[in-house]
Structure 1
Amino acid sequence: MSVPIVGTVAELRATVAGWRREAASIAVVPTMGALHEGHLSLVRAALKKADRVIVTLFVNPKQFNSAADLQAYPRTEVADAARLAPLGAHLLYAPDASEIYPEGFATTVSVTGVSEGLCGAFRPGHFDGVATVVAKLFLQTGADLACFGEKDFQQLRVVRRMARDLDIPIIIFGCPTVRETDGLAMSSRNVRLSPPEREIAPRLAAILFETAERIAGGGRVDEALARARSLIVDAGYTRVEYLELRGEEDLAPMSKLDRPARLLAAAWLGQTRLIDNVRVMRE
């Protein structure tokens, strides 16, 4: 069994048109490849919700802030297709950059509000790149629904706002973060960790869960966050880029827990930037 691979909008739309003639519902799972179990869980979720599932694979240059980071990002299309085949995904859309951004391309989709702060503050232009490419993928596939992981929680909020504001007729589902057995959030970047760094990495999630419990139990937010920052550095992380409590719906900063929230963090471990988040609810 193999997954058909197409690389052009024309091929993609021809396939989708055939599915539409069969009155099939269609889901899309956007990825940048280097698929791991977190991605595969999104595909499984999509297969439960739609008759046909398209997985997209595009390493989007517009969402990278560093040319070196873009160059280092793993590209494993053949292996990715092999991982998708047993699941029953119906199509892998793997366009070249020239297909997504043809010569003369001059449009950028920019989402304000939920894109500000957190990763948006440390990766200028990143979410413009995300919103632009995801808008294109939604329109190219014509999908009825899309599945995104909650690990990239700010991204999920940006994509939802973008689709809502542009009246793109698609339902967006957020799927739970998938973790390794030791708690580390699965990420394509985890392969960059050295063996000693991989031993340290799960401490980020452990500290976030512990801090979420502390805040949910009535602890002061500022004190809990300060303590968590120290613990992350003491665990061996190089530096904490951000650690914040934000409203779950609007991502507004919170100084006290008066509604559902997310505790979000980004931290560097050697040369690798890891992000994670956990939900915080009053006990």
Structure 2
Amino acid sequence: MKTLLIPVDFSATSDNAVNFAIEWTKAYGYDRIILLKTFYDTVFDHIVVSAEYAPVSPHYMAREREQATDRLEDISREISLKTRGVNVIAMVSEAPLLRAIMEVIREESPELIVLGSDNFSYSSGSFIAGNLISIAKASPIRVLIVPATYQYQPVQNILVPCDYAALDSLNKVRALQIPPQWKNSKLLVFNVDPKERYLQPDEQLLAAEAHVHDRLRDYPHEIRYSNDKNIINGILNFIQENNIQLIISLPGKHSFLYYLTHKSISDAICRNAQEPVLILK
């Protein structure tokens, strides 16, 4: 069964990701949605922040779990009403978030994880958003990151940031098996070239462009450039100036994700990107 996994924490950002996933499910023909809520406790969860650090009552913790379980069931019913025929499963776990996600991936074989993300101007206090990068890096399956408040839109233009030093990663796009819903969509392969070699392309650049065209020959696509001195800024500025509904992050050392996780997380996707990002594996 074509399965989508949504970790939830009942924050506004998480709820928005659920609403986005409902529309994505209907658009792309998923058969099953798994909602995952972890009840993992650290030692600090059992302590009231006060001068005495009084232990939290077990009855209070039990009531909190019961309320969370009821909320999870309410969300499941809401999804079922909006996605006729889709099997909705609510799962709870006592494991830490990342371990719980990995266990569900191993046991249920979902194709995609949907995660909500806060940004620079808004924070819902989402626990999942706070662990976004660690989940995206560790996940063996594709991850779709949905910015807070972003509402689903049909995909017309897809941005593929690409470093010419890692062109083989474009094979991941071919392996994506672009759905028929994207048959009229356009892949915009985007390269940040501060030296402006693209203005007078040499043989190496022409060979790289030929490689792009060969890898993506089955899909409508264009190659675009920016002379921005900063990779992240170049990508984000291009997104603002063009009608983009989805960003595809290629895997590997030279990928967009590499810059997000090794350069400046706070100034990249978690804070600035206003469009969904699909991270390939």
Band the TM-score falls in, shorter-chain normalisation: 0.3 to 0.5
> Normalising to structure 1: TM-score of the pair?
0.40
> Normalising to structure 2: TM-score of the pair?
0.40
Structure showing greater Rg: 2
Whose RCO is larger (CA < 8 A, sep 6+)? 2
